[in-house]
Structures are given as structure tokens and as C-alpha cells.
Structure 1
Amino acid sequence: MIQRKLALLVGITMFTLLLMLRWEHIIHLVSLMRNERPSAEPEPQTDLPSAESTLPLWQRAPMETISPIPGSRHLMVSAFKDHRLGGAILVISIICRQELQPLYCVLCANGDANDSGNTDAKANGALGQCTTSQAKVDIHSDHFGFPFHTSDVFCTTTTSQQASYVSITSDRNTIDNLTFLTIQNQEVKESFRYKYTICISNLFGGYNNALQFAQTMEVYKLIGVQRVVIYNTSCGSDVEKVLTYYMREGMLEVVPWPLHKFLTPSTGWKYDLHHGDIHYYGQLTTLNECIYRYMYQSKYLLLNDIDEIIMPYKHGKLEKIMDTLQQQHPNAGVFRIENHIFPKTQFEDSGRFRLPQWRRVPGVNILEHIYREPDRKSVFNPTKLLIDPRRVEQTSAHTTLKQFGPVVTVPFDVCRIIHVRAPLQGHLSKDQLLVDKKLWEFEKRLIPSIDHALNQSGLL
């Protein structure tokens, strides 16, 4: 009898334990379905594998960054309130110049609006009160002959100040199945999260220059940059690893830029030579979007390409240069920096930076290229921009199109661009080039930081 009772007690205990384990498992599954974690479970480390972690971080963005405008071939990108223009709602868009038809703004109020992103308005009732008005379209002047180009679509109505969401359509009589954009920059801010942010227009064509990118990022850290923004269409697997590292570190924001899903982008800058629907994978659209995206996040923006470094020569830090320039030009918000070519075909002779740990990392080693092409007096030397985003309304790649205040060209000896790329004056011998070892000044801090970044990226 005692043995039977013991056996029954053990059985009940085992059954109870089994039920408890199954119930905990059920709770765990339910919490995962609700995108929650059980309270007793610790937060996972960012480098641990998960169902999503096999994807690049930017492919997990919750919303699309490009949306078709119904009834047209046009596209809309993002929306902002421009307080400099009386609070007008500005939708950065890509407009087909030859097919411009009347467009309409649908503005909707919602007290729960946040300051970033898009929303799919399948249930329009959730958006609150909506009003429709005709839009004003301002196509930027620098389109280089391509049919599609960066444009500002303005929405100005008596209700625009209360609007939280906006959509653009060619049919004013229906708002069914529209995609609405959250109107960002709702408030003017006087303090900023970042002092210096770099806007890099776009990556495309499976770009895989991982070594130069990591080196450039580490140089920017040393001269005072806190944030980098890149618009990504496609990149190689090695660059993808480096991007992921800098995103996890917090320095980098990667914005998805799937322009090829909607248009045939050109890989060049001039329509007669390169063809396609839009200039250089929408480079100018991304630069203008970045200005508004970071208008109240960063005090200054640097607008340049991924293989360029805006380098302070007179002072070691961007902050010292900008303090001096703003004192000299208090009303200026646009500073043009000269571009100078360092041919990647010419190597310094000693090989001191031909480090063995970098040999298997794909890309250009910028520390090996210390020879700079001389200026050609008869050829225009293009510039890139260092701006106060609150003083710029529209920009091109080398100069602003609309700005508030004067534009200043920064003297060559104060600041210039180190641009390691294919030569423009390929006929020149090494003896005819100028020696410029500015990057070597950062050697002691730069080499260990590059090694650390490449190691954390899994490339060493």
C-alpha cells in the first residue's frame, strides 16, 4: 500500500512538473508571437544569432523608403515640416519632368504622430480628419538631362499646421489604399544630438571596397565626426559586414534605397553619356533627403562621397575649423571644400603601411597613396559641401541650389578633400605629383582602430 502511494505521489509530481514546463513553453511562444520576451529571460547580446540576424540590419527597416504616387510614374520619399517657409509641408519626391500632371496632397491629423518613418494607411479612419488640396511641384534645376529628378512637392493649406501624415496622389477624389508618410521635423530644435554628420549619397553595383571604407570611418572619428548616413542600394558581402559593425557601434545609419525597383538608375552623371531614368542612382535625392532628415539632429552636415575625406589641414579637428569659419563668416551656412585627387595607381615606395593583416581585406589602402595631382588652372576643380542644414533649402552634388545666406569657398590650405580614386591626370609620372602625407599624422591612433573595426567585422 505504501509503495502504491509513493508511486502515485511520484507520478502526480512528475505530471505537475511536466504541465509546468509545457505551460512555460506556451507562455514563451505566445510572448514571441507578441514580439515580447518573458520577464525572467535576459536581453540577448547583439552579436548572438537569431532568426533575423542573418539579414543585413538595414533590410529589417519596418517601412519602405520609396513609395509610388498613385496614377503616375512619380515617386515620393519622405515628408517634413519646413518652419523656414511658414510651416509648409514638403514631400521630397522624384518627378518625371515630361509627365507632370496635377498632383494633390492628402493631409491627415493624428495626435499620436512620431517624428520619423512612413505608415501604411489601409484603415484611413485611424488617421483622423483628412483634407485634400492641390500640390505645388518644384523640380530642382540640376537634373543633368534625365527625365526623372529630385523635386519638392509642397502642401500648404489652413490645416497643414495640425497635420501629422501626408500622401500625394493624382486623384483628389479618393484616399483609399494610399501610403501615408509621417511628417517629420514637427518642432524646431536649438540643441542637436550630433555636431558633425556625414551624408554619403548612395552605394550601388555591389560596392565592396571594405578596407577604404573602414579606414575612412576611423579617420572621421579622429577629426570629430559622430554620425555617418549612407543610402544603400547594394553592396558586397565584405562591406556589408563593415556596415553592420558600425551600425551596432552606433556611428552609422544605413537607409535602404531600392530605387532600382521603380526606375532604371544611371551609373553616371550625364544623360547623353550614361542614359537611364535618373542621375547616378538618385544621388541628389538622397543628399536632399539627408539634409532634412538631420536638420534638427546635427549642427553641421558634410555632403560627400564614400571615397572622400573632408580633411582639416590647418587644424586637426573639424570643430576648430568651423569655429574659425563661423567667426569670419557669421551669416554663412554653406562652405565649399576643394576636391583633390590622390591616384590609387601610385604607391609610396617604403611600403610601411602595406600591413600583412590587411592583405586579404578587399579594397584600397588609402595610407599607401600619398601623391596628389596638381591643380589644372584651365579645369574646374569640383567642390563638396560642409553646411548648416537649417540654412539650406536645396542642394546639388557640388554646390547648393537654394540657401539662406552667402556661400564661402574654404581656402585650400585650411581644408581640402582627400579623394583616393582612379587618376584624372593619368599621364603624370610620380615625380610630377605632389607629396601629401596628412593621413600619416594619425598613424598611432588610426592603425589600431582600423584593426579593431576589421576584426569586429569578421574580416581579420
Structure 2
Amino acid sequence: MAALCPNDFKPIGWLCRKKRYSLKWKLCISMIFVLMTSMWINPKLLMSMLTPVSEYKKQDITPVKNSKHLMVSAFKDHRINGSTRIISILNRGQLQPLFCIFCCGKNNYSTPATIDMHSDHFGFRYVTTDVLCRNKPKSNAMYVTLSLKPDVLYNLTDFLPIQNQIQEEEAFPYEFTICISSLFGSYNNVLQFVQTMEVYKLLGIQRVVIYNTSCGPDLEKVLHYYSEEGILEIVQWPIDQFLIPSRGWNFKEHGGDIHYYGQLTTLNECIYRNMYKSRYVLLNDIDEIIMPYQHANLHLLLEDLQQEHPNVGVFIIENHIFPKTQFDNSGQFNRTEWKKVPGINILEHVYREPDRKNVFNPTKILANPRQVVQTSVHSVLKNYGQTFRVPPDVCRIVHVRVPLQSNLTKEQLFVDKKLWEFEKPLLPNVDNVFKKTGFLN
């Protein structure tokens, strides 16, 4: 019969002998003690060990530790030997050397970063910047972050996934994608937004990407509807949590840290986001429609444009203002059921302002994203291939907004009823959206 022994002893027949732990077991206990002590000192250590890298990125703007800089997203750029391009927002007054830290499991490594600030910043302190990182051959890194120090390789929780790992230039999920730079100021123009979305569908748009800082509760319902439908991708853009965004483009007039809620950053991010998802991207605002005037849809327009200009990858489209203060006299589209929907009825505004020869006419961009390196709002900054300005009788932007030439009478404006050509399919489609979102019974 074995002896009954205390916990620290083991029975040997009738005797009790103190337990002896092997060296391996003692080392294991020591490691656990060290780990627990480290966790008590630095609780983030445990999270960095247990949290998959893919869960590190919780938001679409990430501060660079111990700096005034911000990271947005990272992309593999196959046009420059597969180097990684990190779309960033840098403080122009506090530039400093940066290092790219690549995550490769147990073999993380760093490389010096090349900083390429965009030339357009309109005087604001913060500027859209490409931070270029050279990858080690055959490293197959899937995540990257920026650091002020090259030797801090581990215990990091702010890695960005490197997108566009696969280069695909034959088949694209979408032919046309629209990039809407930013919603802010509790934007709630539901009627114009739905009409514009439904017109774009008729023109052949399959995807719309919107960067959302804030919008009104009514528009929130509509955004949810289009997101569920599959045509809309909403990118949360909390720029106001990191910087003081300007509500305009001119620093001296509007102040703030960054141009127009980071519009330049979101447009560039959207180009790279859709580099291998979409054959073409359209860069324009939420109240603008890039409208072909000699073709039934955008596919036919681009088919002819590319045939006539095979080396062009960037098409510049003129903006034309349709004042929301001037209404069609017939009242044909003054529909009672739409009056309960907040926003502007673009079908009522058919008067277009004439061009002014001595004033710059803003333009927007329709481009092959694989030929764009950096873009501004009205033109590209760096690109491969050629650029072509499309004649306004072929394609122009229908922009319903406050007038720029408010001194003109209705008789001095041009009548332009291009939108009315979509009447038959457009009206029931718009009504259907309003019924499904609760604006119409």
C-alpha cells in the first residue's frame, strides 16, 4: 500500500520523497514566469503575441508612432518591380527619415523608405504622400508598417495589409468604378444622390466607392441600401479624428490642417484600391455626373475614345454648371411624391451656364488606373501614357449646384435636357429605391 504524501512529495512504497523537476520543466516554469512578468509590465505584449496580424488594422487611418504622420493603406506596385507603396499623409514641417517594417512571421525586416510628396497641397501643412518601400527578393511579405527606427521589428500592432498582391490586367470584376472623395458635414442630399446613382447605373457603372466622414440619417439609409445591393463600397474616413480638415481648397481662406477633408488622399487611395478591380475609374464629386453626349453609355464612349487615342490612359472631362436656382418652366418633373424626400431634383434643372473664356473651367478625370501614379482633383500629377481632353460635345460633366454666374438670367443660359433622355427607366428605378428605403409608401 502506497504512502499518503503531501503535494510536494511523491510516494515510494511506504516512504515519501520530495519531487524533483527536470531541467526542461524548470525552464518552462521560468519562461512562464518571465512572460507573466512582462505582461504585467507591458500588457500589449500579450495582445501582440495572440492577435493575428490581419486584425491589427482597425481603421482606415493609422498614426505613425512618435510622429505627426498618418498611414492610410499599402499596395504592391507591379510597375516598379513590385515595391510597396504606402498612401500616407505627412506633416510637411516635420519630415524625418522613415523605415518600412515588413512582417514575415519570425523574419521581420526593415528597409529605408523613399518619401514622394505630391506637388498639390494648396498650402496646407499636411500633404498626400507616397512612401515607397523596397521589398527583399522572395520575402513574400503580406503586411507592412512605418517606423522612425529601423531596428524596431517586433511588438508592433499597426501593420497594414499589402493589397494588389496579384497583378491581373486581362479580366476585371468591373468595367467602370466611380470614386467619390468624401462625404462630410452630415451631407443629406438624398434625392440628388439617388437620381445620380440610378443614372450612373443606366450609363454602365457597376461600382461606386465613397469615403464617408459624416452624412445625414436619411442618406445613411440610402447608403445602406446600395451597399446591400452590392454596387456601393463605403470606406470609413474619420479624418476629423486625427486632423482639423478644411471645408475648402484654399488654406488662406478656409484654414485647417488638410485640403477639403483629405480629398487628394482619398482619390489616390481609390485609384490604387481599384487598380486591378476596374478597367476604368471616374474621379468626381457626389453631385456630378460624367455624361456622354454622343453615346448611349460609357462603354461605347470609351470604346471609341480608346480606338481613336490608343496611347491615352487619362481622359479629362469638362465641368459644366447647371444652377439649382433655375427651374424648368414646364414642371414636367415637379413630382409631388418626391417633395417629401430631402435634396435637389436634378431633372428640374435644365439650364446650363456658358463657358467663360477668361476663367479656368474645372475638369474631372476618367482614367485607366494602371496608368496613373499620382492624381490631383482636376488633373493627374504623374502618369504613364498620354492625356486627352475630351471635347464637351462628346462628354461633359452635368453638375447641378449653386450658380457660379449668378448674374445671368434664364435667357442667357443654355437649355440642356440630356438627363431627360433617361426618363422612362429612371423614374420607376428611383421610385423603387425610395419605396425600399421608406421614403415612399
> Scaled by the length of structure 1, what TM-score is found?
0.82
Deviation at 1:161, TM superposition (A): 5.3
- Cα contact 1:103–1:170 (8 A) shared by 2: yes
Query: Equivalent residue for 2:127?
Result: 149
What CA distance in whole angstroms lies between the structure 1 residues aligned with 2:416 and 2:120? Answer: 34
- Cα contact 2:183–2:214 (8 A) shared by 1: yes
Q: 2:235 aligns with which of 248, 251, 255?
A: 255
Q: Which residues in structure 2 correspond to 1:9-48 (within 5 Å)?
A: none
Report Cα offsets for 1:265-304 as digits up to 9, x if no partner: 0000011111100000000100000000000000000000
Query: Equivalent residue for 2:420?
Result: 440
* Residue 109 of structure 2 is aligned to residue 131 of structure 1: yes
What CA distance in whole angstroms lies between the structure 2 residues aligned with 1:408 and 1:379? Answer: 20
Query: Equivalent residue for 1:370?
Result: 350
What CA distance in whole angstroms lies between the structure 2 residues aligned with 1:160 and 1:339? Answer: 46
Which amino acid counterpart does residue 165 of structure 2 have in structure 1?
Q
Which amino acid counterpart does residue 68 of structure 1 have in structure 2?
P
Query: Equivalent residue for 1:245?
Result: 225
Query: Equivalent residue for 2:33?
Result: none
Identity of aligned residues (%): 60
For this pair of structures, how many residues does the alignment match?
383
4+ aligned runs moved over 4 Å, structure 1: none
What CA distance in whole angstroms lies between the structure 1 residues aligned with 2:186 and 2:135? Answer: 43
Secondary structure, counterpart of 1:377 in structure 2: coil
Report Cα offsets for 1:62-115 as digits up to 9, x if no partner: 831100000101000000000001111000000001100111100122xxxxxx
Query: Equivalent residue for 1:281?
Result: 261
Secondary structure, counterpart of 1:364 in structure 2: coil
Secondary structure, counterpart of 2:330 in structure 1: coil
Deviation at 1:158, TM superposition (A): 2.3
What CA distance in whole angstroms lies between the structure 2 residues aligned with 1:156 and 1:432? Answer: 57
What CA distance in whole angstroms lies between the structure 2 residues aligned with 1:293 and 1:151? Answer: 16
Which amino acid counterpart does residue 222 of structure 2 have in structure 1?
V
Query: Equivalent residue for 1:92?
Result: 87
Query: Equivalent residue for 1:185?
Result: 164
Q: Which residues in structure 2 correspond to 1:222-371 (within 5 Å)?
A: 222-371=202-351
Secondary structure, counterpart of 2:121 in structure 1: coil
Consecutive unaligned residues of structure 1, counting only runs of 5 or more, are 1-60, 110-126
TM-aligned CA distance change 1:244 to 1:62, over 3 Å: farther
Query: Equivalent residue for 2:141?
Result: 163
Report Cα offsets for 1:360-384 as digits up to 9, x if no partner: 1100000000000000011111110
- Cα contact 2:293–2:396 (8 A) shared by 1: yes
TM-aligned CA distance change 1:160 to 1:291, over 3 Å: farther
* Residue 411 of structure 2 is aligned to residue 431 of structure 1: yes
Which amino acid counterpart does residue 376 of structure 1 have in structure 2?
R
Which amino acid counterpart does residue 102 of structure 2 have in structure 1?
L
- Cα contact 1:107–1:160 (8 A) shared by 2: no
Deviation at 1:177, TM superposition (A): 3.2
* Residue 381 of structure 2 is aligned to residue 386 of structure 1: no
Secondary structure, counterpart of 1:333 in structure 2: strand
The alignment's C-alpha RMSD in Å is: 1.2
Query: Equivalent residue for 1:23?
Result: none
Q: 2:59 aligns with which of 54, 57, 64?
A: 64
Q: 1:80 aligns with which of 75, 78, 83?
A: 75
Deviation at 1:456, TM superposition (A): 1.2
What CA distance in whole angstroms lies between the structure 2 residues aligned with 1:134 and 1:396? Answer: 27
Which amino acid counterpart does residue 73 of structure 2 have in structure 1?
S
Deviation at 1:160, TM superposition (A): 7.2
Query: Equivalent residue for 1:103?
Result: 98
Which amino acid counterpart does residue 188 of structure 1 have in structure 2?
Q
Which amino acid counterpart does residue 166 of structure 1 have in structure 2?
V
- Cα contact 2:326–2:410 (8 A) shared by 1: yes
What CA distance in whole angstroms lies between the structure 2 residues aligned with 1:378 and 1:133? Answer: 49
- Greater CA radius of gyration, 1 or 2? 2
Secondary structure, counterpart of 1:219 in structure 2: helix
What CA distance in whole angstroms lies between the structure 1 residues aligned with 2:437 and 2:421? Answer: 25
